[in-house]
Amino acid sequence: VVKRGVVRVVTPGTAIDSSMFSDASNNYLMAVAGREVGKSGKSGEKEMEFGISFLDISTGEFLTTQFTDSENFDKLLSELARMHPAECILPPSLYGNSELTGRLREQTIVQEFTPEVFGIEDAGEKLKTHFGVATLEGMGCEKLEFAVYSAWAALEYAKTTQMRDLSHINTLRTYSNTEFMVLDSITLRNLEIVKNVRDEGDENSLYRTLNCTKTPMGNRTLKKWLLKPLLSVEKINLRLNAVEELAEDSLLRYDIRDWLSDVRDIERLVGRIVYGNASARDLVALKKSLDVVPPLRDSLLEKARFEMLKEIAEGLASFSELEELAEMIEIAIVDEPPISVREGGMIKPGYSAELDEFRDISSNSKQWIAAFQQKERERSGIKSLKVGYNKVFGYYIEVTHANSSQVPEDYIRKQTMANAERFFTPELKEKESLILTANEKAVALEYEIFAEITRTLSARSRELQETAERIGTLDVLASLAEAAENNNYTRPQLTEDCKILIRDGRHPVVESTVSGGFVPNDTEMDCKENQFLLVTGPNMAGKSTYMRQTALVAIMAQVGSFVPASYASVGIIDQVFTRIGAFDDLASGQSTFMVEMVELANILNNASPKSLVLLDEIGRGTSTYDGYSIAKAVVEFLHNRGKVGVRALFATHYHQLTALEEKLKRLKNYHIAVKEDGHELVFLRKIVSGATDRSYGIHVARLAGVPEKVIGRANEILKELERENVLEEAEE
Amino acid sequence: VVKRGVVRVVTPGTAIDSSMFSDASNNYLMAVAGREVGKSGKSGEKEMEFGISFLDISTGEFLTTQFTDSENFDKLLSELARMHPAECILPPSLYGNSELTGRLREQTIVQEFTPEVFGIEDAGEKLKTHFGVATLEGMGCEKLEFAVYSAWAALEYAKTTQMRDLSHINTLRTYSNTEFMVLDSITLRNLEIVKNVRDEGDENSLYRTLNCTKTPMGNRTLKKWLLKPLLSVEKINLRLNAVEELAEDSLLRYDIRDWLSDVRDIERLVGRIVYGNASARDLVALKKSLDVVPPLRDSLLEKARFEMLKEIAEGLASFSELEELAEMIEIAIVDEPPISVREGGMIKPGYSAELDEFRDISSNSKQWIAAFQQKERERSGIKSLKVGYNKVFGYYIEVTHANSSQVPEDYIRKQTMANAERFFTPELKEKESLILTANEKAVALEYEIFAEITRTLSARSRELQETAERIGTLDVLASLAEAAENNNYTRPQLTEDCKILIRDGRHPVVESTVSGGFVPNDTEMDCKENQFLLVTGPNMAGKSTYMRQTALVAIMAQVGSFVPASYASVGIIDQVFTRIGAFDDLASGQSTFMVEMVELANILNNASPKSLVLLDEIGRGTSTYDGYSIAKAVVEFLHNRGKVGVRALFATHYHQLTALEEKLKRLKNYHIAVKEDGHELVFLRKIVSGATDRSYGIHVARLAGVPEKVIGRANEILKELERENVLEEAEE
């Protein structure tokens, strides 16, 4: 008796019979996970954090991503439109959102699915088990909780409906869909974009090299641009046009940067004004910052030729109350006000008649007291009689003990000192009260005036912040122009193809620190014959610097900066991947090689035809044969990835890999030239086409003082190996 | 016409004709450089810093060393006696020292030689040029200025007399002649003896693991012992006997450690006493520390069986005044004195009659004042009359305004307050002066007594310091015993041969931090069949830990500590050399490989038959062929060094090196066992005899998430390579 049961459930997203869908396109199951994550600062709108996955069980293709979306689900819906899934599954929490479900249903079939998974961590563990991996880092989604959750939901739904093994789904690719080049934390570190590796400071970083900004807004904006280079040729050219204009018109640039020197941190000043903890000094700083806007604006309105500078000028001009607000501060607040807003001294005379009157009373008191003292001296006949003041007792009349007999009867004793006695009269006390009250009232009125001014400014906080933003952008553009002029950079060309052509490229940071002049090098990459550059050469010769400078020139170009080269053309890069350097960590116990492999896996899983990959010494952390096998398989994989391959710079000590040039048509060999000069090795630091003949390791050993006997024997062994040329022939 | 000239000068130290000297021994030229470096702390004797070199131009052997010597040149003369040079050259500065020259002349021929060298730096440069190296680090004498100077003088003298090329002199060996095992800074770092690599703190260091000391002296002494393990089996056994005794007699150990808990930093306390900046609290601390000596001493005198503990007991007993000094402090100083020594309150009542009298006056004042107040109340009839004191005006009589009419006539007004007036009488002022003077005098007398006591203690500073030293030594011995008991260590055997036998050895630090239990391993080394252990195995399997634990067990044994093993026998090691781990330093620009080679060169040049060498992944930093060639040449060199070879642990990824077992008779292959369990790699962490068959690099890549396609291809390539087994056969 055979027990019958459901063998398979066919759903639109999990169909595998080709009859059910076109061969020309994928048949995706889409899974969504997500949560509301609070409101965005500016608009006050709700924000959603979504993880979505697309699984094609017919091909095994499996993609995931995670992003922040608006409350209208703009990005989610555009991904849906782009990918055309046959079916979309949602967890109950999202399925209950009728607006979301409704919008999704316009384009696809929507199902509720309750995966039996207890929390995100569990999903990650189950995915790892499925793929037989120790970490999801190699797939690039270890830290994307909703991406992981959606991927697991998709896989589980497929399993539930298919009721069979899904082992052909053996990899998961994390992609990101943005308008910016992706620079992950590893790449930011390896290329030292905003921090150096040594102490995490900004010395020797690209940021420090390019930073000629004059304002805090400019400084912050430059950092943002460097962390998020653009992908749109058009938008990059807008920036480059502005930079070029400012680079060429050095008078205009000089003026702008001179004006910007007077600008304080408007963003933070306005922040303090809005949150009610600004001081009068902050208002003066704001006023001084606003003072430079009119000349800046007028100068730009007159001279700017290109769109971006024009837009900045027009934007600045659109804030019509700007001069009014600056004048308001100018009229009201003294030039150097005190720190405290509760002790007076902030408001200029002439601003408020009432305040002036209070102040009169207060300041005339000196005169009155002098007159009173004179009067009392005459009345009592005591020439040494003095009127004084202290905080505890207020005003008093002081008479020395010697004169105490002459004290008028109406004096009231207040205090006896060693040499004198202190008295007061009702008249003095009355005046005292008037003086002190006037002071108090003046201080209170000053604060009221100050608060009124900050309220007026607060009401214009949006325009003020926009002005700050425009000044920041202008500052970065002027800074990039200044850096371009100072460092002899040239304007790069940006293209939609995949060529990278650099003539006389330099490493922007190293060129300024290296002694004896930096040796420029060319780079020539495309998707045909020069897609994969295999670089060999001895240690210390500059392989790493060369690879890094190529990536840095491309990143600078996409930031909108001029670049250190005599000519550069960059085909837009969507992500720079790097696997460089080994950082042994004895204490943590994690093997260098595992780290290397996880970083490599991430690259292999996620690099696209538009990416640029830098790989340094892949496979060095394991045995020779293993490492060589992995390195060779990686070269072949990247070269052939998705049939069109990936642009890559690959430095290696496995010189035998250079033989691949014969077999892989888009791979080219390069090496760094070295001259032997007697005992010395001279590193020419020039990249040269073709494979290198020697690695000079034994030479370095000799320079380090390794005994001659060892050197001689090592050379013998090497000659044997080279005669046999074993690794290279192994596969012939 | 042939111009005749001197072709060669024959001197005793530069002879090369074998007829001139015996074949059985070297014919050394000795060169000395040096300078007086000030006086030693204890003896007040002058100290000399000497660099000496021995050059045998017949064989090319060239040795150098540097050391600090006494004003009697003890070490210099013992080196002279040991090496029997045929000739000794001195620079003019030393040649002029007739005592030195006289002593040298008793044993060899002494010549003055003025090398034309301008300073030490020049000598270093000339040596580098001669050897064709970029640094002298690889020879181990980069920082030994006198050694370098003497080496260059020897070479120059040889050149001057030989008038020909001396290129056969191609290496310089730095040796050190001491009673301690040499642990250089690289080895201290790699083995984490007193600091960890991660943050240079002492966490996870051997020092932290072993430190159960109770006193600051013990703490410092333990560190010193760890930095300087002993070479003499006899001296080590003295320590081990004491440790064993204390480990076995846990009651005695418990008592000793309990007493030691009360001991403060006697060394520093005595230092402050001698330099005159001790406080009375320091004396109390010293007294409390000294109090534990008698019970400690008596207990040891009664129970100690072995020499070292007996010596400590007798040493402590030899300080006969100890109890007297403690009693002196006890009698004089109060239990909790103030910090200041100038404000009184330090000396106990009854110690000085004069002091007691001054104090009486001062303390009786309260009574007197109370009586005075009562008397004045009665006299004036003012019940609220009070006698008070303040710092500015001294003692006063206070009467409220309400009672001012009743104030007696002899009262003198001093101050008027809000509610009262203050007065004094001549009687009150007189008493005041007496009270205040008595106080001053008491304070001055207290300081005098305190100073007298510190003078008495100062006169016994030598005995006190010796006591501190003995307590420190006892503390370390008890600490080692405690650590041995807590961690289940066993007593090692020390031998003069070159065997290292460890059963169930553990890494003392890792065993306490690893979760899931540490897997013990055996080590078996000798100078016959097991001198050179070649260790293969995958990453993360524990090769490094195994190598380190072997060295650490040996170091602990020579320190006099019990060791983490079930049995251990260690043939005395004169120096542990390590070359482990790569620390890429992108910023400094120095290549990892150059660093690796310099460290390697130092090992190859300086390892002796009594050394232990740990080498991890030599050659990884250069190309495959180069690296393999260097690694293989290094194995051969160390195996055959000085015909007897060097004990070494050599971990490598070049699995092909395991074939050397066939050729090198003292080399043995080992690997670390790994079990494959489906997708998982299980590291058994057990060292096993024989070569490993796999390195699992590709397996790790799979675990890291490298795509299946790459893994599959890498396996294919690997199989090809293994089939050809190319590196191994290259030389057949």
B697 touches chain A (CB under 8 A): yes
User: E-strand spans in B362-411?
Assistant: 386-390, 394-400
Give pLDDT, residue B233: 94
Structure token digits, residue A248: 């060429």
Give pLDDT, residue A725: 59
Best of B64, B173, B586 to mutate (most A CBs within 10 Å, chain A) = B586
Q: What is the mean pLDDT of chain B?
A: 86
Residues 480-539 of A with CB under 8 A from B: 536, 538-539
Distance from CA of A624 to the nearest CA of B (A): 6
Q: What is the DSSP letter of A338?
A: -
Q: pLDDT tens digits for B374-425?
A: 999 999 889 889 998 876 667 889 998 888 888 888 888 887 877 888 888 8
The residue type of B299 is S
Q: What is the dihedral of CA B712, B718, B724, B725, to 10 degrees?
A: -160
Residue with tokens 């553009």: A477
The whole-angstrom separation of Cα B549 and Cα A610 is 49
Nearest to B636 by CA among B613, B607, B657: B657
- Determine the 3-state secondary structure of A215 from DSSP: coil
Best of B624, B660, B698 to mutate (most A CBs within 10 Å, chain A) = B624
Residues 611-640 of B with CB under 8 A from A: 619-630, 632-634, 636-637
Best of A602, A710, A711 to mutate (most B CBs within 10 Å, chain B) = A710
Residue with tokens 């200029």: A348
Query: Which residue numbers in chain A have pLDDT < 50?
Result: 1-4, 18-23, 41-43, 583-590, 729-732
Of the candidates A421, A593, A705, the beta carbon closest to that of B139 is on A705
B703 touches chain A (CB under 8 A): yes
Give every CB contact of residue B620 below 8 A, 6+ residues apart in sequence.
A620, A621, B582, B596, B627, B653
The stretch B203-225 carries a mean pLDDT of: 93
Complete DSSP assignment for B45-107? -EEEEEEEEEEETTTTEEEEEEEEEETT-HHHHHHHHHH--SEEEE-HHHHT-HHHHHHHHTT
Does A206 or B513 have the greater pLDDT score?
A206
Give every CB contact of residue A541 below 8 A, 6+ residues apart in sequence.
A672, A674, A683, A685
- Determine the 3-state secondary structure of A681 from DSSP: strand
Find out whether B344 and B442 touch, Cβ atoms under 8 Å.
yes
pLDDT of B286 > 50? The answer is yes
Q: pLDDT tens digits for A421-465?
A: 888 888 888 787 777 778 888 888 999 999 999 999 988 888 998
Give pLDDT, residue A558: 97
pLDDT of B584 > 50? The answer is no
B18 pLDDT band, cuts 50/70/90, is very low
The whole-angstrom separation of Cα A532 and Cα A546 is 14
Find out whether B412 and B424 touch, Cβ atoms under 8 Å.
yes
Give the chain A residue whose CA is nearest to the CA of B629: A714
Q: What is the layout of strands, in order, in the sheet containing B612-616?
A: B576-579, B612-616, B647-651, B532-536, B667-677, B680-689
- Burial level of B301, CB count in 10 A (0-12/13-18/19+)? middle
Residues 22-51 of B with CB under 8 A from A: none
Give the chain A residue whose CA is nearest to the CA of B713: A633
Q: What is the dihedral of CA A174, A175, A176, A177, to 10 degrees?
A: -150
Where is A370: in which H helix or E strand?
A: helix A353-380
List beta partners, residue B412: B424
Q: pLDDT tens digits for B463-485?
A: 998 999 999 999 999 999 999 99
Complete DSSP assignment for B260-284? HTT---HHHHHHHHHTT---HHHHH
- Burial level of A151, CB count in 10 A (0-12/13-18/19+)? buried
- Note the Cα B561 to chain centre separation in Å: 16
Chain A neighbors of B591, CB-CB under 8 A? 539-540, 700
Distance from CA of A372 to the nearest CA of B (A): 26
The whole-angstrom separation of Cα A114 and Cα A79 is 23
> Parallel, antiparallel, or unpaired for β A61-70 and A173-174?
parallel
Distance from CA of B623 to the nearest CA of A (A): 4
B708 touches chain A (CB under 8 A): yes
Structure token digits, residue A424: 């007061």
Give the chain A residue whose CA is nearest to the CA of B171: A707
- Note the Cα A61 to chain centre separation in Å: 32
Long-range contacts of A456-461 (CB under 8 A, 24+ apart): A456/A325, A456/A328, A457/A270, A457/A273, A457/A283, A457/A286, A457/A325, A458/A273, A458/A274, A460/A321, A460/A325, A461/A270, A461/A273, A461/A274
A198 touches chain B (CB under 8 A): yes
The residue type of B422 is R
The stretch B241-258 carries a mean pLDDT of: 96
Give pLDDT, residue B118: 59
Structure token digits, residue B233: 């089996």
Give pLDDT, residue A729: 43
A204 touches chain B (CB under 8 A): yes
Give pLDDT, residue B342: 85
- Determine the 3-state secondary structure of A525 from DSSP: strand
The whole-angstrom separation of Cα A109 and Cα A370 is 93
Q: What is the ipTM of this complex?
A: 0.75
Q: pLDDT tens digits for B83-104?
A: 888 899 998 888 888 889 998 9
Asked whether the beta carbons of residue B637 and residue A132 sit closer than 8 angstroms, the reply is: no
The whole-angstrom separation of Cα A504 and Cα A519 is 8
Q: Which of A59-68, A376-385, B170-179, B283-292 has the lowest mean pLDDT?
A: B170-179
* B48-60 b/e (C-beta count within 10 Å ≥ 16 → b): bbbbbbbbbbbee
Find out whether A478 and A503 touch, Cβ atoms under 8 Å.
no
Helix axis angle for B461-487 and B233-248, nearest 10°, is 70
Q: Nearest 5°: CA angle at B664, between B659 and B667?
A: 80
Q: What is the DSSP letter of A182?
A: B
For chain B, helix (H) and strand (E) counts, in that order, are 25, 20
Residues 425-464 of B with CB under 8 A from A: none
Structure token digits, residue B510: 């890792």
Any idea how long chain A is?
A: 732
Structure token digits, residue A373: 């003292």
The whole-angstrom separation of Cα B154 and Cα B169 is 11
Q: pLDDT tens digits for A269-299?
A: 988 888 788 999 999 999 999 999 999 999 9
Give pLDDT, residue A589: 41
Nearest to A658 by CA among B628, B623, B724: B623
Give every CB contact of residue A195 below 8 A, 6+ residues apart in sequence.
A188, A189, A201, A202, A205
Give every CB contact of residue A249 below 8 A, 6+ residues apart in sequence.
A303
Distance from CA of A192 to the nearest CA of B (A): 10
Give the chain B residue whose CA is nearest to the CA of A701: B597
Nearest to A55 by CA among A7, A102, A87: A87
Asked whether the beta carbons of residue B653 and residue A171 sit closer than 8 angstroms, the reply is: no
- Determine the 3-state secondary structure of B460 from DSSP: coil
* A157-175 b/e (C-beta count within 10 Å ≥ 16 → b): bbbebbeeebeebbbbbbb
Q: pLDDT tens digits for B421-455?
A: 888 888 888 787 777 778 888 888 999 999 999 99
Q: What pTM was estimated for this model as a whole?
A: 0.69
Of the candidates A539, A654, A720, the beta carbon closest to that of B591 is on A539
